[in-house]
Amino acid sequence: MEQNIDQAKLNYMNKRSRKILFVLFLSIALVMTAVISITMGASSVDLQTVLQVIGDVFARNDAITDIQRDIVFKIRLPRIITAILVGMALSNAGLLMQGIFQNPLVSPYTLGVSNGAAFGASLAIIFGASFSFLNFGQFLIPVFAFGFAVLTMLMVYGVAKAASDSSSTLILAGVAIGYLFSALVSLVKYLSDVKDLPELVFWMMGSLSGVPMAGIIIMLVAITVTMILMMWFAWDLNIMSAGEETAISLGVDYKKIKMMSFGISTLLTAVAVAFTGVIGFIGLVAPHVTKMLIGNDFRYAVPGSALVGALLLLTADTIGRNIIAPTQLPVGIVTSMIGVPFFLYLIVRKRGK
Amino acid sequence: MKNNQKRMLKWMSCMVLLGAMVLSFGGCSASQGETKAADSKDGITVTDTMGREIAIEKPLEKIVTYNSGLTDVLVMFGAEGTVIGRGDSVPNPDPSVDVPTVGKWNEPNIEAIMELKPEAVFTYAANMTPENEQLLESAGIKCIYLELTDVSKATEEVTALGALFGNEEKAAEFVKFHDKYAELIEKKLKNVKEEDKASIYYEGYTDYKSVNKDAGGQALIAAAGGINIAAAETAKYPEISDEWVLERNPDAIVKLVSSTKKIMGFDLTDEAPVKAFFDTLIARPSWSNLAAVKDGKVILLSSDVGTTALGSIIGELYLAKTMYPEQFKDVDVNKVHQELQTTLYGDDLVGIFAYPTKK
Amino acid sequence: MELSVNDLKFGYTKKTLVVKGISFSAQPGQLISLIGPNGSGKTTIVKCLNKILTPTSGNIALDGKDVKKMTAREMARRIAYVPQFTNSYLSGSVMDVVMMGRRPYIKWRVSDADVEIVLAVLKDLELEELAHEQFQELSGGQKQKILIARALVQKPDLYLFDEPISFLDIKNQIDIMELARNMVDKENKAVIMVVHDLNMAMRYSDQVILLKSGAVEAAGLPKSVLNQKHIKEVYGVDTRIIEGQFITPTYGREVSA
């Protein structure tokens, strides 16, 4: 009998090391994808050129032009970093929401945040000229998108609170308010001049290019801080999924953790959407893929889902940049086109077992 | 209940209207047969953008328009009074008269048009279904597609419009003006060899949204003697890779600025916001390394002088001068525009239409 | 350990109380059943004991210390709670679910000792085979036992069970009641349980508290509380009490071909 326990313990330990290995594997895969991605693009800058450009940093190489240097450092690198950060942010926002609301269908989109952000962006795009007194410059759209994303979350939370604090009312309120904002976006689109529509449509499809340095730093800070918090409270988050009563009886401050999760997922979604527009699907699928691969334990799922989200978005964007280059496919389209089949495959494989 | 009644009333009035139209149409066609034979010379026949033949008896007096580019031309003809209804994005041609809007620019409201009883409706062909077209035609309302988005067809279209609105003299003046400067461009570029032609990156209102060979922007570039670097792309309005633009290193860059940005266009005179917009544009990653930026061959064009009738003269000149500053150093486009405004519109030009402008 | 409840009152609004002044105490080695019709306040009392709900007034003390002054973690080490059985969605393996019970002791890292405790408990319950199964794929009875295992690894002094055997078949009902009895007899723990099945309460309880509309109707030994008079009073139904029998066949009859 003792042997049985030892065997089971070994099993458990093995599973744990497998999870750690998987996180490591994902990190390596992400680094490799990033390396491949930086050597691919619509211009002729390839692996060799990239190596020369990197070498040029240490010892001046006259064969390298300023444009080649800029393509590597000012265009591809920021874009790859943006893809990684946004993928991480959306995926972790989804992971948190799904855990806290005990509902596998929740994502930043289900709770209406993206629609709220889209409405903010549409106001900034269509009526931008009228807001010039605010002096936000190129940050006008991000600021509006961020503001409305947060406003949406507060509205959803307020409505849910006024009704009753259960998860299902929260989701219902989110879906309803999401519809309201999407109707408002349609209204703004409907009432707006034809000439501004492409910009709005473009924004609604999401784009990872042209995010200013300040935006990348803001995202980096937001992700670092929230990831530390999520890892710190990983056990509490694990237990949240068992429901309010169990969580409290196991010594978790349910209200505090819920508020914190709410704040974190709003922040992550809002910063990502603010700088890159509506990139669907990552927030729903990446956490599920992670859970299918390494389970629900937040201690592994947090880094895991960040890496899966980053990997998925970076792959999608690299494909989008190259498939019909120099024309670029909006990343949202590619994400869904590669993400959905992969997701369905995982579901079928899991059920088939 | 109230709503239902209202709807009933609307339906009934619609039916009555339809009946009346069918009757009048019948009467009309009978008398038409006689007059046609008597003096077919009085009839007006033109060909529209879609190649359809449009025949009317006398110049149009009452029209509904969904084409924002048309307004400018009507004002030129002094025919702004003919507009009795307009799409929501069409500027009111005569601010002293309150012309009602009849639906969205891309969704003509058939019922509202019928109630106004115009002689003709001007829309973009893409926004008119065959069913609606038939419905309007059967009510004696002509559907005319003179789109004014392809600068290479501008003179034909303006001529056709001149005939339709009975101001052939003004149309001829426009064509004369147009041809004078088209010839000028041709003359100036005569000695530019094919391989020396300037390549140009054309950007629409959205960042990195360009045009391929099928879009209106292509005609503008071609007329100004340039080569569109994105001509071969699949999408009509492709989003172009930033690094590709850098590597192609075009000789010139043009960006169209939407009138809704309210920094360029008629009656706007403050250069500061335009300069700020321009500075942001050329501050894009690595753009300082582009030949076009180094050589000062980057220009912002107001949408008023883009793919419009006006663009076929002024837009082309601005583009040509940007691409070939040497050849056009004696041409002051703003002065040409001023002259055009005085000759064809009879007033003074106020506004910013291009930036930066060189003498 | 001693739990003492003194004049406990609870109401969702100030005016209408669901629990109208309840007092009782629980010692180690005691299984106390809370019984009464739906809406009599049984579950509410349990949730107050556990600080899921905050009492309107009254006092709950654990070894003389007011629970209001105890931290959540301290509470969780002393009182475990098995929620009303629902088919709630819980993802993860059986190990993951049971490991949650170690939360009051774990800071971040799961120690070998934690794993051993979990496995030992699973073995005691003869559930070690299920350790790596997905919780979601178990039967209702298995799930309920796993949730009890989760409470066991908390190593508390007091267990609170909220209707642990509703919706289960008779075999599982008996299994779970025996389990509870074991904790009391062998481990000298205290168990407070909300039950609907009067037969089970009669058979397994040391003490029974019969509630009616948030107040105690009768309390004491099962035999003295669960009599025809009290049951008629509280539930409004007539019963026959037959010693040693669980089921009183009233409607069953042979079906003729």
Closest CA in chain C for residue A250? C76
CA A26 to CA A20: how far, in whole Å?
A: 10
The answer, yes or no, to whether residue B13 has pLDDT greater than 80, is: no
CA A209 to CA A292: how far, in whole Å?
A: 31
Amino acid at A216: I
**Which of B89, B204, B243 is opposite residue A75, by nearest beta carbon?**
B243
Q: Is residue C158 part of a domain?
A: yes
**Mean of pLDDT values over B295-307:** 92
> Residue C81 contacts by C-beta under 8 Å, 6 or more apart in sequence?
A245, A246, A249, C46, C50, C52, C151, C159, C160, C162
The answer, yes or no, to whether residue B124 has pLDDT greater than 80, is: yes
Q: Is residue C215 part of a domain?
A: yes
- pLDDT digits 0-9 by tens, A189-238: 777 765 566 677 767 777 888 788 888 999 999 999 999 999 999 999 98
> Residue C133 contacts by C-beta under 8 Å, 6 or more apart in sequence?
C93, C94
According to the 3-state scheme, what is the secondary structure of chain B? CHHHHHHHHHHHHHHHHHHHHHHHHHHHHHHHHHHHHHCHHHCEEEECCCCCEEEECCCCCCEEECCHHHHHHHHHHCCHHHEEEECCCCCCCCCCCCCCECCCCCCCCHHHHHHHCCCEEECCHHHCCHHHHHHHHHCCCEEECCCCCCHHHHHHHHHHHHHHCCCHHHHHHHHHHHHHHHHHHHHHHCCCCHHHCEEEEEECCCCCECCCCCCHHHHHHHHCCEEECCCCCCCCCCEECHHHHHHHCCCEEEEEECHHHCCCEECCCCHHHHHHHHHHHHCCCCHHHCHHHHCCCEEEEEHHHCCCCHHHCHHHHHHHHHHCCCCCCCCCHHHHHHHHHHHHHCCCCCEECEECCCC
Give the count of beta carbons closer than 10 Å to the beta carbon of residue A150: 20
Q: So what's the ipTM on this one?
A: 0.85
pLDDT at position B359, please? Answer: 52
Best mutation target, B246, B255, B257, B307, to test chain A (most A CBs within 10 A):
B246
The answer, yes or no, to whether residue B28 has pLDDT greater than 60, is: no
> Residue C71 contacts by C-beta under 8 Å, 6 or more apart in sequence?
A251
Strand arrangement of the beta sheet that strand B354-355 belongs to = B226-228, B198-203, B252-257, B298-302, B354-355
Q: Is residue C248 part of a domain?
A: no
Using an 8 Å CB-CB cutoff, list chain A residues near C154.
250
Report the gap between the CA of B287 and the closest CA in chain A (Å): 9
Which of B142, B129, B323 lies closest to B222, judged by CA? Answer: B323
Using an 8 Å CB-CB cutoff, list chain C residues near A294.
none
Please work out, in degrees rounded to the nearest 5, the angle formed at the alpha carbon of residue C92 by the alpha carbons of A19 and A346: 70
B303 Cβ under 8 Å from any chain A Cβ:
yes
B233 Cβ under 8 Å from any chain A Cβ:
yes
The answer, yes or no, to whether residue C121 has pLDDT greater than 70, is: yes
Which of A239, C153, C185 lies closest to C145, judged by CA? Answer: C153
pLDDT at position A234, please? Answer: 92
The answer, yes or no, to whether residue B29 has pLDDT greater than 50, is: no
pLDDT at position B225, please? Answer: 92
Closest CA in chain C for residue A301? C92
**Which of B237, B238, B286 is opposite residue A74, by nearest beta carbon?**
B286
Inter-chain residue contact A241 with C115, CB threshold 8 Å: no
Q: Are chains C and A touching, using the cut-off of 8 Å on CB pairs and a minimum of 3 such pairs?
A: yes
> Residue C242 contacts by C-beta under 8 Å, 6 or more apart in sequence?
C248
**Counted domains in chain A:** 1
CATH number at residue A73: 1.10.3470.10
CA separation (Å) from C180 to C145, C151, C184, C189? 11, 11, 7, 9
Residue B120 phi, psi dihedral angles, 5° rounding: -150, 155
Is B241 exposed, middle or buried (CB count within 10 Å of its CB: 0-12, 13-18, 19+)? buried
Q: Is residue C192 part of a domain?
A: yes
In chain C, the largest separation of any two C-alpha atoms, in whole Å, equals 68
Report the gap between the CA of B206 and the closest CA in chain A (Å): 5
Report the gap between the CA of C82 and the closest CA in chain A (Å): 8
* Range in A95-99, A121-125, A147-151, B193-197 the model is least confident about: A121-125
pLDDT at position B27, please? Answer: 40
CB B105 within 8 A of CB B68: yes
**In this complex, how many residue pairs, one in chain A and one in chain B, have their CB atoms less than 8 Å apart?**
109
**Which of A12, A241, A244 is opposite residue C91, by nearest beta carbon?**
A241
Q: How confident is the model at residue B1 (pLDDT cuts 50, 70, 90)?
A: very low
Inter-chain residue contact B286 with A67, CB threshold 8 Å: yes
Inter-chain residue contact A251 with C76, CB threshold 8 Å: yes
What is the SS3 assignment for A135? coil
Residues of chain A whose beta carbon is less than 8 angstroms from a beta carbon of chain C are 1, 4-5, 8-9, 11-13, 15-16, 102, 232, 234-236, 238-239, 241-246, 248-253, 291, 295-297, 299
DSSP string, A228-253: HHHHHTHHHHHHHTT-HHHHHHTT--
How far is C-alpha A281 from the geometric centre of its chain's CA atoms? 9
**Mean of pLDDT values over B51-61:** 88
CA separation (Å) from C98 to A101, A244, B355, C94? 21, 17, 70, 6
Q: Is residue C98 part of a domain?
A: no
B287 Cβ under 8 Å from any chain A Cβ:
no
| Cis amide leading into A330 (omega within 30) | no
Closest CA in chain C for residue A299? C108
Mean pLDDT of chain C, nearest integer: 85
Which of C249, C245, C209 lies closest to C226, judged by CA? Answer: C209
Residue B226 phi, psi dihedral angles, 5° rounding: -105, 170
Is B202 exposed, middle or buried (CB count within 10 Å of its CB: 0-12, 13-18, 19+)? buried
CATH number at residue C165: 3.40.50.300
- % of residues, chain C, pLDDT over 90: 28
The answer, yes or no, to whether residue B227 has pLDDT greater than 70, is: yes
CA B340 to CA B355: how far, in whole Å?
A: 19
B294 Cβ under 8 Å from any chain A Cβ:
no
- Tell me the residues of chain A between 141 and 180 that have a Cβ less than 8 Å away from chain B: none
Q: How confident is the model at residue B338 (pLDDT cuts 50, 70, 90)?
A: very high
Best mutation target, A40, A80, A82, A194, to test chain B (most B CBs within 10 A):
A194
Using an 8 Å CB-CB cutoff, list chain A residues near B284.
210
pLDDT at position B175, please? Answer: 93
Report the gap between the CA of A182 and the closest CA in chain B (Å): 20
pLDDT at position A353, please? Answer: 47
Angle of the A282-294 helix axis to the A331-352 helix axis, nearest 10: 30
Give the count of beta carbons closer than 10 Å to the beta carbon of residue A176: 13
Q: pTM for this structure? A: 0.80
Q: Which of A295-299, B317-321, C130-134 has the highest mean pLDDT?
A: B317-321
**Counted domains in chain C:** 1
Strand partners, C207: C32
What is the SS3 assignment for C194? strand
- Look up residue C150 and give its two tokens: 């989760």
The answer, yes or no, to whether residue B254 has pLDDT greater than 90, is: yes
Amino acid at A195: K
Inter-chain residue contact B289 with A70, CB threshold 8 Å: yes
Q: How confident is the model at residue A136 (pLDDT cuts 50, 70, 90)?
A: low
Q: Which has more confidence, C235 or C245?
A: C235
C251 Cβ under 8 Å from any chain A Cβ:
no
Inter-chain residue contact C119 with A9, CB threshold 8 Å: yes
- pLDDT digits 0-9 by tens, A140-188: 888 888 889 889 988 888 887 777 666 677 778 888 898 899 899 888 8
Best mutation target, C50, C119, C129, C192, to test chain A (most A CBs within 10 A):
C119
Which of B293, B313, B296 lies closest to B305, judged by CA? Answer: B313
How far is C-alpha C131 from the geometric centre of its chain's CA atoms? 24
Q: Are chains C and B touching, using the cut-off of 8 Å on CB pairs and a minimum of 3 such pairs?
A: no
Inter-chain residue contact A235 with C116, CB threshold 8 Å: no
Q: Is residue C185 part of a domain?
A: yes
Which of C130, C141, C139, C179 lies closest to C159, judged by CA? Answer: C179
Using an 8 Å CB-CB cutoff, list chain C residues near A234.
108
Q: Is residue C164 part of a domain?
A: yes
Q: How confident is the model at residue B21 (pLDDT cuts 50, 70, 90)?
A: very low
**Which of A4, A11, A253 is opposite residue C72, by nearest beta carbon?**
A253
* Range in B5-9, B132-136, B264-268, C144-148 the model is least confident about: B5-9
Containing structural domain, residue C76: 3-91+154-235
Closest CA in chain A for residue C160? A249
Closest CA in chain A for residue C156? A250
- Tell me the residues of chain A between 227 and 286 that have a Cβ less than 8 Å away from chain B: none
Angle of the A77-100 helix axis to the A254-276 helix axis, nearest 10: 150
CB A250 within 8 A of CB A237: no
Residue B17 phi, psi dihedral angles, 5° rounding: -60, -45
Domains of chain B listed by start with CATH number: 44-167 (3.40.50.1980), 193-355 (3.40.50.1980)
Inter-chain residue contact A71 with B303, CB threshold 8 Å: no
Amino acid at A175: V
Is A284 exposed, middle or buried (CB count within 10 Å of its CB: 0-12, 13-18, 19+)? buried
C89 Cβ under 8 Å from any chain A Cβ:
yes
The answer, yes or no, to whether residue B5 has pLDDT greater than 70, is: no
Q: Which of A25-39, A327-341, C210-224 has the highest mean pLDDT?
A: A25-39
**Helix intervals (H) in chain C:** 42-49, 72-78, 94-99, 112-124, 140-152, 170-185, 198-204, 222-225, 228-235
The answer, yes or no, to whether residue C248 has pLDDT greater than 50, is: no
Closest CA in chain B for residue A203? B206
A196 Cβ under 8 Å from any chain B Cβ:
yes
Mean pLDDT of chain A, nearest integer: 85
Q: Is residue C108 part of a domain?
A: no
A88 Cβ under 8 Å from any chain B Cβ:
no
Residue with tokens 């002689």: B119
Containing structural domain, residue A284: 2-352
In chain B, the largest separation of any two C-alpha atoms, in whole Å, equals 76
**Number of residues in chain C:** 257
Inter-chain residue contact B247 with A327, CB threshold 8 Å: no
A80 Cβ under 8 Å from any chain B Cβ:
no
CA A32 to CA B232: how far, in whole Å?
A: 33
Closest CA in chain C for residue A244? C52
What is the SS3 assignment for C210? strand
* Partners of chain B (3+ Cβ pairs below 8 A): A
